[in-house]
Amino acid sequence: MSRYKILYQISGSISAYKSAIIISKLVQSGCEVQVVATPAALKFIGTATLEGLTGKPVLSDMFESGQLMDHINLIKWADLVLLAPATANTINRLSQGLADDLIGALFLAHDWSKPYLLAPAMNTKMYTHPATQASLNKLQEWGVKVLPTADGYLACGDEGQGKLLDPVHIIKAIMQALPDQPGKRVLITSGGTREAIDDVRFVSNISTGRTGAALADTFVRVGYPVTFLHGAQSKIPELACETVPYSSSQNLEDELKKVLSARDFEVVIHLAAVSDYIPEKLEVDQEVYVLPLTDKLPSHSDSLSIRFRQNDKLLHKIRGFSKNNAIKLVAFKLTSGADETQQKQAVVKLFQNSSCDLVVANDMQDRRLDQQASFHLYDSIDTTTPISAARVEDLAESLINNLFKNQEINS
């Protein structure tokens, strides 16, 4: 399995505890993480936590015996360097080119062919101070990717800019900045589309995105790079992968096209519940409007009617979008109250009407809130004997065996 090497630097902010969340997700996603922390950072988060999470001693002292050349060697080792949280002090010191601590020396020795990400965290006044802003601008000019801060409640009791960006967004930025991971890329579409009626209302479906997110986590855990397209409110994976949000079915189609035409993917697992019908026209008080409306529809009329048009089947277009002609396509078929024979008939019909290689069938009756669903995996070559899986993790394992059988993972 291919493992990214992340040099994770922490400086002395109250938000340093959040680095444990980020590091934990990176490690679970198969990354190797080496922590460098300033002495001030170690007043906020303990070496036991950091060493426990990474399995490596925390480096802090440039003159530590046995590690004297770390300020050069770590740069050669790392695929990406992250400073999160970055204090005002460290930011201003880096912009002056000071190298009397490990983080400063590592910065000057940085190899700029590798990404250097920095996530500031401080009180609003410290953040907006001209000294800090000038330093951030200078660092950006030198090639540092400075992440935005979040707005919100700060530990000092103030509200405003300067809060450390949410760990989920930091992980997303890391995934975007890393070079393409070698190995067999998997694209998963998940969640449900939203078809707008006006600027506050939409038509959607009950898809939660939980199955897709759990599948993505299993693929990431065993070493496959995953790109995850998800609906507005749907669940996103716990582990680090590239995530791309979408809203309507047209927006999902556009994003899918963009992603699939830019890079080679080995597999597309299309779980997204795409609206079969799109709201097209609205009739109210003898007036007909083309949808979606740009403003909010007034709510004073006794009744109104909406006409829907049938949507195109996105599944049929996926192969055409793909840079890799030999892409493997997995579709999902959700039935409602179908027995085994009816489910099989629905699957056979889907194979006949589409060019997918595998179909995962499940029925509404089997859906459980706790995600314990009964999945039946059908192969286009033999539709008589599906493989059944009770849990999403078992389904992921069957998919991996089927899609990559006789192939070494990430060879």
Report the C-alpha gap between 289 and 275 in whole angstroms: 21
Q: What does DSSP say about strands 287-290 and 32-37: parallel, antiparallel, or unpaired?
A: unpaired
- CB of 87 or CB of 211, closer to ligand FMN: 87
Cβ at position 12, least distance to ligand FMN in Å: 3
Cβ at position 218, least distance to ligand FMN in Å: 36
Closest CA to 91 of 50, 119, 55, 53: 119
- CB of 121 or CB of 173, closer to ligand FMN: 121
- CB of 122 or CB of 203, closer to ligand FMN: 122
Cβ at position 202, least distance to ligand FMN in Å: 39
Cβ at position 103, least distance to ligand FMN in Å: 7
Which parts of this chain interact with ligand FMN (CB under 6 A)?
Answer: 11-15, 38, 40-41, 87-90, 121-122, 126
Cβ at position 98, least distance to ligand FMN in Å: 11
Catalytic residue among 31, 156, 241, 356: 156
CB atoms within 10 A of CB 358: 24
Q: How far is CA 206 from the centre of its chain?
A: 21
CA angle 311, 316, 322 (to 5 degrees): 125
CA angle 94, 97, 101 (to 5 degrees): 70
Cβ at position 155, least distance to ligand FMN in Å: 6
Residue 22's region, left for phi above 0, alpha for psi from -120 to 50, else beta, is: alpha
Active site residue 31: no
- The two counts, helices (H) then strands (E), for the chain are 13, 20
- CB of 40 or CB of 177, closer to ligand FMN: 40
Report the C-alpha gap between 244 and 10 in whole angstroms: 28
Sequence-distant contacts of 318-325: CB under 8 A, at least 24 apart: 318/256, 318/260, 318/268, 318/270, 319/355, 321/256, 321/257, 321/260, 321/261, 322/260, 322/261, 322/265, 322/268, 323/260, 323/261, 323/262, 323/263, 323/264, 323/265, 324/264, 324/265, 324/266
CB 396 within 8 Å of CB 364: no
- CB of 123 or CB of 211, closer to ligand FMN: 123
- The shares of helix, strand and coil residues in the chain, as percent rounded to the nearest 5, are 35, 25, 40
- CB of 84 or CB of 197, closer to ligand FMN: 84
Catalytic sites, residue numbers? 156
